[in-house]
Amino acid sequence: MYNQLFMAALEGLRVSGQYRTFANINRIAGQYPLARLESTSDKEIVVWCSNDYLGMSSNPDVMRAMTATVERYGVGSGGSRNISGNSALHLDLEASVAEWHGKEAALTFPTGYGSNDATLQCLLRFLPNVVVFSDAMNHASIINGVRATAAKKHVFRHNDVAHLRSLLAQYPIDQPKLVIFESIYSMDGDVAPLADIVAVSKQYNALTFLDEVHAVGMYGPRGAGLAADLGLQDSVDIIQATLAKGVGVIGGYIASTKLLIDTVRSFAPGFIFTTAQVPGVVAASLASIEHLKTSDAERNALHDKTLLLRRRLDEAGVPVMPESTTHILPVPVGDSELCRRAADHLLEQHGVYLQPINYPSVPRGTERFRVNATPNHTDQQIEDLAHALKETFTHFRIPLRERVSV
C-alpha cells in the first residue's frame, strides 16, 4: 500500500513535467564557473545558475581559512552548541555578523533554511496572540516556519504596502504582530519597497523580519545588504541572511537585539537540538565576511557583468522578466517539459548549465531559467550564453522578443 502511494505521487510529478532531476556538477576549485559533469568527466561546462554570486567559494583567503582550521580542529564540531559544539570561532563569526548589520548580537545556524524556520517557529510560539503578515512571494523556509505554528496569519499581496496596511489596521495597536518580507526575491529578481514596509509596520507596532539572503555581499555599504544601502538597518528589528550565497560557504544567521537573540538561542528547538556548524565552515564564513566588508571589487564586478549580460540577452532577443532589477535575471519559458528539454539541449549542445525552475518554486505556467553572471564569468562566456539561449529558443520555438535598449 505504501509503495503504491509513493509511486503514484512520483508518477504524477513525471506526467506533469514537475519531476526534479539533479545533474552531478563537479565544481573545479579556483576555476569557477567551470565545472565537470560526472558522466563526462573530461567535458567542462559553464555554470550560470549558482547562488555563489560573488565566487567567494573559490577565494584563496577563504579556502585557506577553511583548510587551516580543519588542520587545527578537525572536520566536526562535536555536537550542538549547548553541549560540546560551541567555540571561540562561533562567537567571532556572530560578532562579525552583528557588526556588519549594525546590530547588538547575532546567532548562526547550520543552514539559511534553518535560521528562518527555527527563528520563526520560536518567535511565533513565544509571542502571545501574535498575528503574522507574510509577503505572498516569501521563501519556502519562511512559509514552513509560519505554518508549523498555530499563529494567526495573513498573506499580503506581493510588495503591496496598501494591502499590508489594510490587514494591520484590523488589529489593536498593542496586539503582537510580525511582518515578514524579503529584500530581493530570487524567482523574479525584484526588490521590496523596504522603506514603506518598515514605516507602515512601525505605525501599527509590528516587529519586522527581513530576509536579506539574496542581498548580503552584493549590495549596500560593505555588502551589508539593501537595508544598509537605504539606511534602514536600525529600523528593521530582525535581519536574517545566509552564508551560502554572497558569502560563498554554508549556514544562516539572524541579527537583532541582545535580548531577542538570547530568546531565540534559549527557546528555539531548531537551534538547541541541532549540531553546530563545523569549525572549517565557521572560519571560512568569517574570512569571507571580513573580506567583503573591505573589498568592493567583487560586487562592482558582479554589477558590471550583470549589465553586460542584460545587454547581450537583449541584443539576442532573449526575454528577461521585466520585474527584475537586480543581479538575478529570470528568463521565462512557461512550460515545465519545454524548460527541461531546453535545459538538456543547452547542456549537451553548448556546455551551458541552467537548471529549470518549475513548480512549486514558481507557479505553473511561469517556468523559467534563473540566470546570473558572477565576477568570474568572462565577457566571452557571456557572449556564448546569449548565443546559446537564442539558438535554443529558436530550436524549440520558444518566443524571442524584439530588442529593447538597456
Q: What is the CATH number of the domain that holds 170?
A: 3.40.640.10
Q: What mean pLDDT, rounded, does the chain reach? A: 95
- The H or E element that residue 187 is part of is none
Count CB atoms within 10 A of the CB of residue 360: 8
Closest CA to 295 of 369, 222, 244, 382: 222
Q: What is the pLDDT of residues 92-104, one digit of tens each?
A: 999 999 999 999 9
Closest CA to 114 of 95, 137, 136, 140: 140
The CATH number of the domain where 12 resides is what? 3.90.1150.10
Q: Which three cell numbers stand for residue 384?
A: 556564448
Catalytic pick from 153, 245, 258, 293? 245
Query: Does residue 7 belong to any structural domain of this protein?
Result: yes
Provide φ and ψ at 123, rounded to 5°. -65, -40
For residues 339 and 198, membership in a common domain is answered with no
**Rounded Cα–Cα distance for residues 402 and 404 (Å):** 6
Q: What is the pLDDT of residues 113-122, one digit of tens each?
A: 999 999 999 9
Can you tell me which residue has the cell 572536520? Answer: 75
Q: List strands edge to edge, sheet with 105-109.
A: 105-109, 252-256, 238-242, 207-211, 177-182, 131-135, 152-156
Query: Does residue 402 belong to any structural domain of this protein?
Result: no
Contacts of 289 (CB under 8 A, 6+ apart): 93, 96, 97, 100, 247
**Rounded Cα–Cα distance for residues 325 and 226 (Å):** 13
Closest CA to 292 of 233, 238, 228: 228
**Buried-state track 129-167, b at ≥16 Cβ within 10 A, e below 16:** ebbbbbbebbbebbbebbeebebebbbbebbebebbbeb
- Which residue type is seen at 397? R
Strand 356-357 to 177-182 pairing: unpaired
Question: Longest C-alpha distance within the chain, in Å?
Answer: 64
Instruction: Assign 69 a pLDDT band (cuts: 50, 70, 90).
Output: very high
Strand partners, 368: 332, 357
Residue 213's pLDDT is 98
Q: What SS3 state is found at 263?
A: helix
Query: Does residue 147 belong to any structural domain of this protein?
Result: yes
Closest CA to 305 of 382, 248, 370: 382
Boundary residue ending a domain (271, 293, 315): 293
Instruction: Assign 38 a pLDDT band (cuts: 50, 70, 90).
Output: confident
Peptide bond into 176 cis (omega under 30): no
For residues 93 and 216, membership in a common domain is answered with yes
Residue 378's pLDDT is 97
Query: Does residue 85 belong to any structural domain of this protein?
Result: yes
For residues 65 and 137, membership in a common domain is answered with yes
**Rounded Cα–Cα distance for residues 26 and 89 (Å):** 29
Least confident piece of the model among 17-21, 217-221, 354-358: 17-21
Query: Does residue 32 belong to any structural domain of this protein?
Result: yes
**Rounded Cα–Cα distance for residues 307 and 231 (Å):** 25
Least confident piece of the model among 30-39, 61-70, 288-297, 343-352: 30-39
**Rounded Cα–Cα distance for residues 10 and 18 (Å):** 9
Query: Does residue 236 belong to any structural domain of this protein?
Result: yes
Q: What is the pLDDT of residues 308-322, one digit of tens each?
A: 999 999 999 999 999
Q: What is the pLDDT of residues 253-278, one digit of tens each?
A: 999 999 999 999 999 999 999 999 99
Closest CA to 288 of 325, 253, 236: 253
* 403/98: higher pLDDT: 98
Residue 404 has pLDDT above 60, yes or no: no
Provide φ and ψ at 110, rounded to 5°. -60, -30
For residues 39 and 153, membership in a common domain is answered with no
For residues 250 and 382, membership in a common domain is answered with no
Count CB atoms within 10 A of the CB of residue 14: 9
Provide φ and ψ at 7, rounded to 5°. -65, -40
Total domain count, the chain: 2
For residues 52 and 64, membership in a common domain is answered with no
For residues 340 and 259, membership in a common domain is answered with no
Query: Does residue 214 belong to any structural domain of this protein?
Result: yes
For residues 163 and 262, membership in a common domain is answered with yes
DSSP 47-111: E-S-S-TT-GGG-HHHHHHHHHHHHHH-S---SBIIIII--HHHHHHHHHHHHHTT-SEEEEES-
Closest CA to 52 of 297, 306, 245: 245
Boundary residue ending a domain (262, 293, 324): 293
Residue 41 has pLDDT above 80, yes or no: no
**Rounded Cα–Cα distance for residues 356 and 365 (Å):** 13
Reported pTM: 0.94
Instruction: Assign 28 a pLDDT band (cuts: 50, 70, 90).
Output: confident
For residues 53 and 68, membership in a common domain is answered with no
Residue 403 has pLDDT above 80, yes or no: no
Q: What SS3 state is found at 377?
A: coil
For residues 259 and 389, membership in a common domain is answered with no
Q: Confirm whether 245 is a catalytic residue.
A: yes
Boundary residue ending a domain (293, 310, 338): 293
Residue 406's pLDDT is 45
CB-based contact 23:37 (threshold 8 Å): yes
Instruction: Assign 39 a pLDDT band (cuts: 50, 70, 90).
Output: low
For residues 391 and 373, membership in a common domain is answered with yes
Query: Does residue 159 belong to any structural domain of this protein?
Result: yes
pLDDT average, residue stretch 107-135: 97
Structural domain range at position 50 = 1-57+298-396
For residues 50 and 186, membership in a common domain is answered with no
Q: What is the pLDDT of residues 132-191, one digit of tens each?
A: 999 999 999 999 999 999 999 999 999 999 999 999 999 999 999 999 999 999 999 999
**Rounded Cα–Cα distance for residues 386 and 349 (Å):** 14
